[in-house]
Amino acid sequence: MQSSVSDWLTLEAEFLLRQQVRRSLRRWAQHVLAPIGQSPARHHDLLIAELEALAAGKFLRLMVLMPPGSAKSTYASVLFPTWWYTQFPTSSIIAASHTAGLALHFSRRVRDIVARYRELLGYQVTSSIASAHSWTTSLGGEYIAAGIRGAITGRRADLAIIDDPIKSQFIAESSVQRGHIWDWYRSDLVTRLKPNARIVLIMTRWHEDDLGGHLLSAAGPEWRVLRLPALAEPHDPLGREIGEPLWPQWEGMEALSAKRDLVGSRIWSALYQQSPRQTEGTVFNTTRVRLLENAIVATDTHTIRAWDLAATLAEKGSDPDWTVGVKISRDAKGYYTILDVIRLRGSPSQIEDAIRIAAKADGEKVWIGLPEDPGQAGKSQAAYMTRQLSGYRVITARESGSKLTRALPVASQMEVGNICAVQAAWNRCFFDELAEFPLGRKDDQVDALVRGFTALNGTTDLSRFTSVPFFGR
């Protein structure tokens, strides 16, 4: 009799627990984490509430911005998907990370928890245990793991979880790589979503134009944002005092201060405070450049297209330099307008052809600025290119001093608002490179701009030539 009562009480407790964990993500998290001595902290409770609201359909897009080590992935990428299937048993999840390896890591953790608590959850993994790329549940659910830009063609999802889309600072600083991630999101992932599908983006910020920044700029109010910096700022979502650590039980003020001193203010601001900003000490204040939409003819202007020639050719697996031609004008009042940017990679003959084609399109009144590298080889190359451009006004000049020193005069004119640019497709890539200089990976566009600016303000007397019409202010 005593045994029967005990068994009944055990069954009732299990029944109540099953109801609790299926009703509450927090109760589910408590149960799973208890055996390893963990429980949700304040910021985890807030994250859990946001995930539950997402599941309930109160909003469809959630962006979670927290510093490294805040356990955001444990809750959003591991515990949430296992609980999601208790709410939507036949749904499909696409989980993506910066590489397939990280996505598979999360997939295995999710699958292992399902296997351990299958009776409590009410479902189990039914497909091959060997495949973490794609598996199904006994109630008809499906889980697909993929790296960013990985193949998800032919799959549809009710829930997409993007966790840590950027692998490193190296990737974050590359406008090309950021562009690839954005293209993957809008072309591959979004097109795979079912009607009313949810998206959860979990990340630390790296750059003003990373995926989170791009989504906030492009989509805006569509996204609900949970931003929790390592050290509290005014209007903190948790009600912390300014400067209070996010998770003091895990990482207190002393440890965070040491980390801030180690990584520097720029990385600290981005990764830990979730407020990426331009490189501290950035040379070019690109926010001071005014973009022009309409073409206006000016009669008091001199124009040059200055070239920076690639030092290395494109090779498979390499990251070669670009050949860049920046067309810039200066009027009688001392205002400058960046009219056009050509950027290409190719063989020497292809580059020569591109320069000739640009010269023909620009016209005979537009100067052509070419570099003259030190030594006899540089002088011979400059002489050769000048002959190829017979009939055009060609300036060749050697450059001295560091790149930073040469760039400062242009930067000062930009700072006071004397430089504008024609609005065009090349703007984003061009201004990204300027904003990252001198710490960016490439500076070919900077070099071409500086060369053109220097020529317009150099010793060559351009005034004796006819004024050149241009598209400007």
Tell me which residues of the chain have a pLDDT lower than 70. Answer: 1-9, 128-130, 153, 219-220, 277-282, 294-300, 312-319, 374-378, 458-473
Beta strands in 252-311 (DSSP E): 290-292, 296-297, 301-308
Instruction: Give the span between the Cα atoms of 332 and 72, in whole angstroms.
Output: 57
Q: Give the tens place of pLDDT for each residue, 398-453.
A: 777 788 888 889 988 988 889 999 999 898 889 888 887 877 778 899 999 999 99
Distances from the Cα of 94 to the Cαs of 86, 144, 145, 350, 433, in angstroms? 17, 5, 6, 43, 34
Instruction: Give the span between the Cα atoms of 158 and 143, in whole angstroms.
Output: 10
Sign of torsion over alpha carbons 383, 388, 392, 397: negative
For the chain, give every domain's residue range. Answer: 2-228, 286-472
Q: Which class is domain 2-228?
A: alpha beta
Domains 2-228 and 286-472 share a fold: no
Instruction: Give the span between the Cα atoms of 405 and 285, in whole angstroms.
Output: 16
Residue 466 pLDDT: 35
Instruction: Give the span between the Cα atoms of 295 and 469, in whole angstroms.
Output: 11
Looking at 3.30.70.270, 3.40.50.12780, 3.50.50.60, 3.30.420.240, the CATH number of the domain 286-472 comes to 3.30.420.240
Question: Which residues lie across from 420 on neighbouring strands?
Answer: 290, 337
386-414 as b/e, with b when 16 or more CB fall inside 10 Å? beebeebbbbbbeeeeeeeebbeebbebb
- The whole-chain average pLDDT of the chain stands at 85
Residue 298 pLDDT: 62
Contacts of 261 (CB under 8 A, 6+ apart): none
- DSSP structural state of residue 466: P
Distances from the Cα of 347 to the Cαs of 256, 361, 382, 406, in angstroms? 50, 21, 17, 28
In degrees rounded to 5, what are phi and psi of residue 13?
Answer: -65, -40
Instruction: Give the span between the Cα atoms of 131 and 91, in whole angstroms.
Output: 19
Residue 398 pLDDT: 79
Residue 460 pLDDT: 45
Residues 69, 250 contacting (CB under 8 angstroms): yes
